[in-house]
Amino acid sequence: MPTASTETVERQAAEAGRKPGRRTDRVIAASMLSPGIYEMVIRDPYVAATVRPAQFVNLYPSDATMALPRPFGVAKVEGDDVTLIYQIVGAGTREFAKLQAGGTVDVLGPLGKPFDTGKTANYVLVGGGLGVPPLLYAAQTLSKRDDGTLVTSVFGYRDVRFADELVAPFADTTHSIINAEGNVVDLLNDIEDELDGADQKPIILSCGPTPMMKAVAAWASKRNIEAQFSLEARMGCGYGACVACVVDTPQGRLKVCKDGPVFTTEQLGWEA
């Protein structure tokens, strides 16, 4: 049975007063940013209009042997078009990398709890590897504010600086480091004076490998800096119906997909 178009699903959902369910989106563009790292633009007016930084979308592989969707953070929104940036790690991402402009992909979202960006602050976006894409959208969103909010990007890459040019238009200051030069905590140490001298107090929004985020949490706690972390977990459903994504926290077991993916230092017990 063919799946309904994005527009049809959205219209039906709006008429019924609920969020649209899984629908088929058109691929508008697809390209390789650097070896193994791909960008895909999908047309999804609902995601474009509603997604907030660090929320994610489920993409469903068409190969029936892969029943589970794969979650991806939103990297950019332009009009009705939503950009995702992803790394090939397994069968699902290998299939998505074959998609070309004009193709289609089944999508559900946006899902999960976003970063809390309610304060006027210097938002320091600390990302590692493929934790960088959701922070690009955080930068895009924050750059639209006219309340004195600042955006400082601090990105750590394995080798290729694939997102510096993408974040630059939305950031007041852009910093990056590759593994051979050091890690994001080295970079935070380097720019500490700059953060102290900024007009706004820093708030860290971070996404990337867990050991990196724990090190960032410790750095921030020592300096009494507020921090939020977008966790990654293997997911099943992506919306709270299974228990594939649970993490142990001082508050008990929480679901990354529904209780998160964004958590504070205190929620995670990462103050030390």
Ligand X SMILES: Cc1cc2nc3c(=O)[nH]c(=O)nc-3n(C[C@H](O)[C@H](O)[C@H](O)COP(=O)(O)OP(=O)(O)OC[C@H]3O[C@@H](n4cnc5c(N)ncnc54)[C@H](O)[C@@H]3O)c2cc1C
Binding site for ligand FES (CB under 6 A): 235-238, 240-245, 255, 257
Nearest-5° Cα angle at 161, 48 to 185: 95
The DSSP bridge partners found for residue 86 are 38
Quick one: 45 or 236, whose CB is closer to ligand X? 236
Quick one: 178 or 233, whose CB is closer to ligand X? 233
Full 3-state SS string of 138-172: HHHHHCCCCCCCEEEEEEEECCCCCCHHHHHHHCC
Convert 176-200 to b/e letters by CB count within 10 Å (16 or more is b).
bbeeeeebbbebbeebeeebeebeb
Interaction between residue 50 and ligand X (CB under 6 A): no
Could you tell me the two tokens for 43? 């047309």
* Contacted entry of ligand FES, ligand X, none for residue 240, CB cut-off 5 to 8 Å set by kind: ligand FES
Quick one: which of 130, 136, 171, 213 contacts ligand X (CB under 6 A)?
130
Q: What is the dihedral of CA 33, 97, 154, 111, to 10 degrees?
A: 140
Interaction between residue 110 and ligand X (CB under 6 A): no
Interaction between residue 2 and ligand X (CB under 6 A): no
* Contacted entry of ligand FES, ligand X, none for residue 91, CB cut-off 5 to 8 Å set by kind: ligand X
Size of the site for ligand X (CB under 6 A): 21
- Interface with ligand X (CB under 6 A): 56, 70-73, 85-87, 89-93, 130, 133-134, 232-235, 261
